[in-house]
A = this chain, B = another copy of it.
Amino acid sequence: MSAAPTVVIGSAGRRLYLVDWFREAFADFGLDGRVVVTENDPTSAAASYGDIGRTLPRYVDPAYGPALLELVDELRPAVFLSVNDYELMHLHVATDLADRMRERGILVPGVDRVWQLGCADKLRMAQLLEAIGVPTPRTVTGDDEAGIAEISAASESLVVKHRLGSGSSGLALVPADGVRAAINAAIDSAPAPADGSAPSGQDVVVQPCLPGLEHGVDIVGDLREPGGLRAVLARRKVRMRAGETDKAASVDPAPFVATAERIARAAQLTGLIDTDMFLAEGGEPSVIDINPRFGGGYPFVHLAGADVPRYYLARALGLEIDEDWREYAPGVISAKHESVRVTATEG
């Protein structure tokens, strides 16, 4: 009656390494497990890469929820994780689908609703972080003239970006006298608000440009005890490309642990979230972004020795593991490269 132990990865897109690493984790435990990939685009690189591939309707389609529940009832996965911010928003905020999977005994890593909303809204995120005493850049909207003037007076260069953007969407780094033009340009390219009105200064945020080096930090919470910190995995960004880290060096996580602990507890974290933090020498890290899922920076710590998929499987399946899944060597530099695979044949 019991099927093979199963993990579902939603919207894996270009991240085939996650499929590989969960498969390797099953093998490490001597288990004949299955990695299921769900995609709405059957020609995406990941769609045909899992042990089982399933096409789901797009998350905006009313058929998405029923199809997802039917799929988990059939395959009975131990863990369901998604790599897509919009799908996560739909699962955790717009619907109760995450909870309905959890009622079925499926682990669905993530943060609570309030923090999930904050992850998509840079103004809310700054407010959430301030409320728990975690340093974050002062953040005001593009129509807050007094706030912008204050930031301009205190900081030589400013960051302008889309309030609801992801990656470096709408991003500009400008001197104070260029901030108005940058805000206007960011408004022009901002996604339209849900109410159908034209984008305005409310849809853009302005921040001071921070000193220090930008780091990617994965915060890993216990999969079964919300808010319990289990690992912090950090890398220094060496080069960016198209809003993602293209090259990075693994670093000692010690400077980030206290911040990670506060966020994990406040957000009632389970599983891995990807964050961006600036760290100036001798200072406290300042958090600039949180993505509540495996991000593009996880490979830089995995290749240095960490193994979160192994932790996920152990905790989901009740297996014993030692602590070395969270150990990695600092100073390992890795770089991304292009790979291509055939995904379909026409007609």
Q: Which A residues have a C-beta under 8 Å from some C-beta of B?
A: 13-17, 43-46, 181, 185, 188, 238, 241-242, 246-247, 249, 296, 299-300, 303-304, 329-347
Contact = CB atoms under 8 A, between A and B. Distances in A.
A246 B242 CA distance: 13
> Nearest 5 A-B pairs (CB), nearest first?
A242-B242, A331-B346, A45-B337, A299-B340, A45-B335
A246 B181 CA distance: 32
A334 B338 contact: no
Contact of A17 (B185, B241, B338): B338
A13 to B, nearest CB: 8
A49 to B, nearest CB: 8
Contact of A43 (B181, B329, B333): B333
Given A43-B333, A331-B346, 10 more contacts: A15-B337, A17-B340, A45-B335, A303-B342, A329-B345, A334-B343, A335-B340, A335-B341, A336-B339, A337-B341
Contacts of A238: 43
11 contacts: A14-B246, A14-B337, A16-B337, A43-B335, A299-B340, A303-B340, A303-B342, A333-B345, A334-B341, A337-B340, A337-B341
B339 A337 contact: yes
A246 B45 CA distance: 10
Contacts of A341: 303, 334-335, 337
Nearest to A238: B43
A345 to B, nearest CB: 6
Contacts of A331: 345-347
A151 to B, nearest CB: 21
Contacts of A345: 329, 331-333
Given A241-B242, A242-B241, A242-B242, A340 B344 contact: no
Contact of A300 (B241, B340, B346): B340
Contacts of A332: 342, 345-346
Given A345-B331, A346-B249, A346-B331, A336 B45 contact: yes
Contact of A185 (B46, B185, B246): B185
A333 B338 contact: no
Contact of A342 (B44, B185, B333, B342): B333
B45 A14 contact: no
Nearest to A16: B337
Nearest to A331: B346
A44 B338 contact: no
Contact of A296 (B335, B338, B347): B338
Nearest to A340: B299
Contacts of A44: 247, 335
Contacts of A338: 14-17, 296, 299, 336, 339
Contacts of A342: 303-304, 332-334
A247 B332 CA distance: 31
B333 A344 contact: yes
Interface centre among A46, A246, A304, A329 (most CB of B within 10 A): A246
Interface centre among A13, A17, A303, A340 (most CB of B within 10 A): A340
Contacts of A330: 346
Interface centre among A185, A303, A338, A344 (most CB of B within 10 A): A338
